[in-house]
Amino acid sequence: MSGYDAQRRHGQPRPAHGRYDAPGDPPLTVPSLELEVPFVFDGALARRLLRREVNPKEAFTVRNDAGAYFRASLKELGTDGGEAIPYERMPRSPEPAVEITLACAVLARQRMIFVVQKATELGVARIVPLFTEYAVPPHGLEHEKAHAWPGQVIRAAKQCRRSSLPELCAPMPLAAFLASPAAGADLSLFLDDRSVETPAPAVTPRRIILFVGPEGGFSDTEREYLKDRAFPWVLGGRVLRAETAVLAGLTAVQLTWGDFHEDRG
């Protein structure tokens, strides 16, 4: 079901200025690449570049079948195909080592624009905006410029040289997300400064969900609901702004289990 269909089914208004959601897109791949040797590509890859708003003379990240990543300069682009030339081999993969889902309450004062942008840069695979008790309600999405969120994903991916695009889900209630297949993970965490401080679980997860609440945090009912499904995670003794908590939480996830770790390259 599309984001539009889900919103109509639950009586939510269709966005007036664009979509609130966008599908993810895996890394761009070309079978064989050689530095300074132009390559041509077909319409399927061309359409993906058009979606990413890559224009001629701009650079994009592409990998070969061996998993090596290159920066390539776009020379020609049309709906049926185009041509580019690799000019730099990247020393490390720009793609995340673990699959991270950020499930974040919809924040007020248009701070979700910042959250979507920075979460993309920090390597999430999926962003799920949540309706919680203290979050912005569905009728406030237009004021929060939710139609601009997909564009922020594209621009942030270009800026940090990702070859993939994270999935941006349509905003949904916390309970609906927890009941969905997307809520399955090896490790689920929710940031909570009211729980007893405990160390992070000693596991090696490949799929992680990080829940972050709005200003005021999750309600007591939501906290109890989450405790049956996620590990309460305390990051220090300071009370953080919601958008700061997103950055701190994602950074901690990447340092503990992801590609910020020194021996993970």
Sequence ranges of the domains in the chain = 39-89, 95-264
CATH classification for the domain delimited by 39-89, as one of 2.40.10, 2.40.50, 1.10.287, 1.10.10: 2.40.10
Domains 39-89 and 95-264 share a fold: no
Q: What is the pLDDT of residues 190-210, one digit of tens each?
A: 999 888 877 778 889 999 999
Cα 34–chain centre separation: 30
- pLDDT tens readout for residues 232-253: 999 888 999 999 999 999 999 9
Using the 8-state DSSP alphabet, how is residue 22 labeled?
B
In DSSP terms, 88 is beta-bridged to 71
Using 50, 70 and 90 to split pLDDT, how confident is the model at 262? low
Q: Name the residue among 181, 180, 165, 252 with its Cα closest to residue 212.
A: 252
Two tokens at 128? 């799920």
For residue 75, pLDDT beyond 60:
yes
Split at pLDDT 50, 70, 90, the class of 62 is very high
State residue 157's pLDDT score: 98
User: What's the pLDDT score for residue 6?
Assistant: 38
CATH code linked to domain 95-264 = 3.40.1280.10
Tell me: the pLDDT tens digits for 156-202?
999 999 999 999 999 999 999 999 999 999 999 999 988 887 777 88
